[in-house]
Amino acid sequence: MNRKLICILVIFAILLSVQNVVGPATKSSGSTSGGGGGGGSKPVDIDKLLKAVEDGKKNKPDTFEELKTILWKDPITSENYTLPTVLMYYNGNNTTVSRTEPIDIITVVTNNNPLEMRRMLDLYLEVKDPGESVYRRVNSWPEKIQTNEYNEKHNTTQRTWTMLPSFLYLKKVGEVRLRVNVSDGVNKWSTASYSRVNPPFYGDLVFNVTNSLPNMSSFEVTPSGLVRYNDPIEYRSIIEDADGDMLNVTLHILDENGNEFKNETINTKPGPLSFKANEYGFFAESDSGKNFTYYYSYDDGIGNVSKDPEAPLKGPNIKKGAKLSVDRLDFTGSSENYYWWDKYGFSIRAKNLNPEEYEVSFALSTRTENSEWNTVETKTEKIGSEPVVVRFNKTEPFRVTDAGKTFYYRVKYSEYDQSGKDSMETKGARINSKIVPYSIYNSVMVLNLFPMLFIVTMIGFFMERSLKKGVEAHERSSGGAGTSRKESPARTGRNFVDSIAKMLRRR
């Protein structure tokens, strides 16, 4: 309304300006600028005109109303004006879609009115979600269809509603209805008002939105077999959801009678899943000797699976074992110099805090400074309530590269000790820096050096025999016995000793 009024005022101002140009000169009021004296035509400033109208609105409302009445012009209407046809358009094969499926919701407008009769259209998309009784407006600002944007041939234009790319936002699945409300400034109507519309055009676009349930696979409990209650037991699986929803997954652990023993729920995205028993405190020492089963339940906030797999899976089977008390981890060297080649003895004392007797394995490992642990020896002993000293005698755990380094040693056992650990380690001593166990006079050194010197010398002699650079080089260079060379020892069958003797006799 106001806009129309302003348009009329602007036209009015232009007319006045024309009048000023062709008519007699007018005198400006005192506030006018430019003040040049003397006559002649003077254009009327539109800002001043507007200001005058605004002042009139404030100061002389009656006159202003009179002016409005004079200037009011009804919207251009014609008996020939027809309402544009506004329809929903969906080019999918069917309107049953999953929540994540991308959808292109389009509104097509056909306006057969001549350009000068067309009006700008305001479109509002409305949606009625499953279970709702009323439509809700999707766009807060109207989508505007300008009068000049229609296809000249078909008089059509369209809008794609990008603010609704899918129905992922739905928390409940079912029937979703979409429509567009239209206004041309005078008339208001809805796409739902059209009847007998055939796909891909729709008056009320109705989707049947479905949800994909999550799916679990790769069920596993590690470690497999018999485990200790405080082993790093882990329930692993993979959960997938086509919609990519956040999922609530509950692990149900059942006891031997099939009763729920523990459950734990986590909220997670689709992907690998892990429940660590120690983290959630699933099992205690009192559970030793029991066999458990488990299953999962899960939901994606819309649908749920109450039991997967249907038959609970086995695991873990917790074994009964000793509760160790260990101490007196010690070592001795065959010499006080702690050479790398010395034999070392290691020992640890252990007993079972429970009255039973169990077989427990003990593994001795050593390392020097930053190197990795190297398993030296493993032993299995029966451990009861009486302390047992487990000995690793006459071990040779070190190498020449360990010389000059401090060593550490560790005994790892197959049960947990009083500290809840399964190993005990401590620092040993500094290994002597001496790296060669033998003196130069030692028979081992003699056996090393003399044969080595002999063999290296022989390599030289055999090289000469092979290359024949002594005599034959000369013979070759002077075109001599290159081809009349004597047969090789191998060919003539002479033995190895003869060939060396002959070679040494040659001049």
Partner 1 sequence: MDPIVQFLIDNLFAAGTIALVLLLIIAAALHINNIKNVYKLMGILQNKTVDKSHFYKEMTVSQGSNFAALAFASWIMLFVAIAFLYFLVPTVYSVSFMDLSELASNPFGFAIFGITVGLLAAVVIFFLDKLPDDRRVFRLTELYSFYAISKGTKKMIGLTLIALYCSVVLSAYVGTIYPDRSMDAQLISLALLIVSAGILVMPIYKEAWEARR
- List contacts with partner 1 (CB under 8 A): 340-341, 399-404, 433-436, 438-440, 444-445, 447-449, 451-453, 455-461, 463-465, 467-471, 473-477, 503-504, 506-507
Q: Which token pair is 418?
A: 């009083």
Q: Nearer to partner 1 by C-beta: 163 or 463?
A: 463
Query: Which is nearest to 85 in space by CA: 164, 187, 207, 206?
Result: 187
Q: Nearer to partner 1 by C-beta: 196 or 507?
A: 507
Length in residues, the chain: 507
Shortest approach of partner 1 to residue 451 CB, angstroms? 6
Shortest approach of partner 1 to residue 374 CB, angstroms? 11
Task: State how far the Cα of 69 lies from the Cα of 63, in Å rounded to an integer.
Answer: 10
* End-to-end Cα separation, the chain, in angstroms: 129
Task: State how far the Cα of 198 lies from the Cα of 373, in Å rounded to an integer.
Answer: 77
Q: Nearer to partner 1 by C-beta: 191 or 366?
A: 366
Q: Nearer to partner 1 by C-beta: 421 or 474?
A: 474
Shortest approach of partner 1 to residue 494 CB, angstroms? 16
Shortest approach of partner 1 to residue 491 CB, angstroms? 18
Q: Nearer to partner 1 by C-beta: 197 or 471?
A: 471
DSSP 33-88: S----S-S--PPPHHHHHHHHHHHHHH-HHHHHHHHHHH--PPP--TT--PPEEEE
Shortest approach of partner 1 to residue 352 CB, angstroms? 39
Shortest approach of partner 1 to residue 481 CB, angstroms? 11
Q: Nearer to partner 1 by C-beta: 160 or 401?
A: 401
Shortest approach of partner 1 to residue 482 CB, angstroms? 11
Q: Nearer to partner 1 by C-beta: 349 or 399?
A: 399
Query: Which is nearest to 240 in space by CA: 221, 265, 212?
Result: 212
Residue type, 218: S
Contact 9, 53 (CB under 8 A): yes
Q: Nearer to partner 1 by C-beta: 27 or 505?
A: 505
Shortest approach of partner 1 to residue 488 CB, angstroms? 14
Q: Nearer to partner 1 by C-beta: 1 or 459?
A: 459
Task: State how far the Cα of 136 lies from the Cα of 169, in Å rounded to an integer.
Answer: 14
Contact 197, 270 (CB under 8 A): no
DSSP 158-222: EEE-TT-S-STT-SS-EEEEEEEEEE-SS-EEEGGG--S--TTEESSEEEEEE-PPPEEEEEEEE
Q: Nearer to partner 1 by C-beta: 110 or 334?
A: 334
Shortest approach of partner 1 to residue 363 CB, angstroms? 22
Shortest approach of partner 1 to residue 440 CB, angstroms? 4
Query: Which is nearest to 422 in space by CA: 346, 371, 348, 369?
Result: 348
Radius of gyration of the chain (CA): 50
- Between the alpha carbon of residue 87 and those of residues 181, 183, 343, the distances in Å are 10, 13, 94
DSSP 226-294: EE-TTS--EEEEEEE-TT---EEEEEEEE-TTS-EEEEEEEEE-SEEEEEEHHHHT---GGGTT-EEEE
Kind plus residue range of the DSSP H or E element containing 377:
strand 374-383
Q: Nearer to partner 1 by C-beta: 72 or 461?
A: 461
Q: Which token pair is 451?
A: 């044969």
Contact 237, 221 (CB under 8 A): no
Shortest approach of partner 1 to residue 335 CB, angstroms? 17
Shortest approach of partner 1 to residue 338 CB, angstroms? 14
Q: Nearer to partner 1 by C-beta: 15 or 447?
A: 447
